[in-house]
Amino acid sequence: MEEKENYSQDVLRHSASHIMAQAVKRLFPQAKLGIGPPIRDGFYYDFDIDGEVLSHNLDRIEEEMRKIVREDLPFEKEMVSKEKARKIFEEREEPYKLELLEEIEDDEVSLYRQGEFVDLCRGPHVRSTGEVKFFRLLSLAGAYWRGKEGNPMLSRIYGTAFFKKEDLDSYLNRIEEAKKRDHRKLGKSLDLFSLSSELGAGLVIYHPKGAILREILERFEKEEHLKRGYQPVITPHISRAHLWKQSGHLDYYRENMYVFSLGKEEYVVKPMNCPGHILVYNSKIRSYRDLPLRYFELGTVYRREDSGVLHGLLRVRGFTQDDAHIFCMPSQLVDEVREVLRFVLFMMKTFRLGYQMTLSTRPRKYIGSPENWERATQALTTALEKENIPFEVAQGEGAFYGPKIDVQMEDALGRLWQGPTIQVDFNLPERFDLTYIAPSGKKERVVMIHRVVLGTMERFIGILIEHWGGAFPVWLSPVQVRILTVTTKESLFAWQVYQKMMSEGIRVEVDDDNAMLGYKVRQAQLEKIPYMVIIGPREKEKEIITVRTRDGENLRGLEISEFIEMVKTKIEDKS
């Protein structure tokens, strides 16, 4: 018999979702069952019942789950005909199970039972409810049935489960830390950005400090791209729809695009930058001597995202990508991908982020020939192997026009965020007849690489806020130094110090209000400013400063020039 330690975490969590559903049905028999899969870090189950009822009773549901665990009910698999399954769920008045049942083509289906509870499920599960000991219900949210707007809104309970208590405790501690780091709360308290219903859902307004942070990131990105031979381009926000018909986006991506009519012609608000970059390439005849050509744009794009998936800066409708397209000969392809991989790793190191890489292959809906897809996939694989980068394969998760390398960035709490991507594309060059003159004098087809090395600026800023908990390293901090006076008598000297720091490129503010020093210090700490320069009578008299870091360290009797050099070194070192 299989030992429980051989079960995967997913099997344990899937079993926990069934226990939760059984508990809900015991307490609220009127609830209708949706689905309850395991997910990364936990599980959920959807119910058709007033969410208010569940939100006020999560503790009761969890206690009922513990009772079911103590009952140690065996998970029993039963293969039945579709007709018998239909009768079972008709008797139980489970319309969502009946809908799922009708889509199963097999004549036989599998059910899983524990005690009085039965579910339509492929499994597998642990042996009995008694093996699911360490779990916690986490939250409740609304979710459209099967993720589609227009379908009924169900109530989704999220939970998690682990084999060991210490693992559960560790995870719950990370959850609490993540709540403190929530970029939406910190974005408001640090006055970085806002989202306004008057403006529209999923559209971001950057406040001065957020705009400074973004400007620092964009300036850094531009400098690094220029060092690597990229040429900047700028493309319009709207274009004629026929361009997107030619690219294939109107056929494969229309539901995510904003399309409007202007006179008798359709226009598109650009969802991505590639067609514009293609037009730059095609603006004149290219020789093999010109290649590779690397075009870079911090391009703002707009995509129609369902309101239910919008989430602060992490999922928005209007965003800016650090987008680039590389046009090269097939013989240059692997080396160009390797260079992009090195660029990505440089970025991960600079921002102190871990990473995992996934190779995503041909999806069900795609353009182009299987042969070109194979060539593109092999080029990505070879580049990863030559750079000695470990990766996983995600079958069928590529873009419609080409396979890709997806880079998940790992933050300080061990969470993974989708960021950089590298996509090889043989298809758009064919659709747009992109060629170069080969050494033989004949026209040859160019290969195209789509890539971002951070992703979208909005998502990356959201990730950085949570990664650093708002306490950005000195080089990224919108305000690097705040000068605090003990009394208003030190104001003149404080502003003299301010001018010296400003002239050296340090982002500095002065707080010379007539308030207690302790209050000023606490306020600066809440705003997570790296350095507080304190000026009292002694500092004014000797023309020195006392420095307090946001971590509580005190540096007394510093020369102003000494401190300025210290801060500039931190900025230069990206620390």
Catalytic residue numbers, as ranges: 274, 303, 321, 323, 325, 404, 450
- Contacts of residue 572, Cβ cutoff 8 Å, sequence gap at least 6: 475
Cα angle for residues 116, 118, 120 (degrees, 5° grid): 180
Containing H/E element for 114? strand 108-114
Sheet holding 238-240, edge to edge: 238-240, 265-269, 258-262
**Please, is 535 exposed, middle or buried when counting C-beta atoms within 10 Å of its C-beta (0-12, 13-18, 19+)?**
buried
Task: Quote the CA–CA distance of 486 and 510 in Å, as a whole number.
Answer: 12
Containing H/E element for 69? helix 58-71
Containing H/E element for 517? helix 517-526
**DSSP per position, 4-61:** GGGS-HHHHHHHHHHHHHHHHHHH-TTPEE----EETTEEEEEEES-HHHHHTTHHHH
Task: Quote the CA–CA distance of 348 and 453 in Å, as a whole number.
Answer: 9
Structure tokens at 105: 């083509």
**Please, is 345 exposed, middle or buried when counting C-beta atoms within 10 Å of its C-beta (0-12, 13-18, 19+)?**
middle
Task: Quote the CA–CA distance of 179 and 13 in Å, as a whole number.
Answer: 23
Amino acid (1-letter code) at residue 567: V
Q: Which residues make up each annotated binding site for Zn(2+)?
A: 274, 325, 450
Task: Quote the CA–CA distance of 572 and 555 in Å, as a whole number.
Answer: 21
Q: Which residues make up each annotated binding site?
A: 274, 325, 450
Task: Quote the CA–CA distance of 337 and 292 in Å, as a whole number.
Answer: 12
Task: Quote the CA–CA distance of 486 and 512 in Å, as a whole number.
Answer: 8
Cis amide bond preceding 292, omega within 30? yes
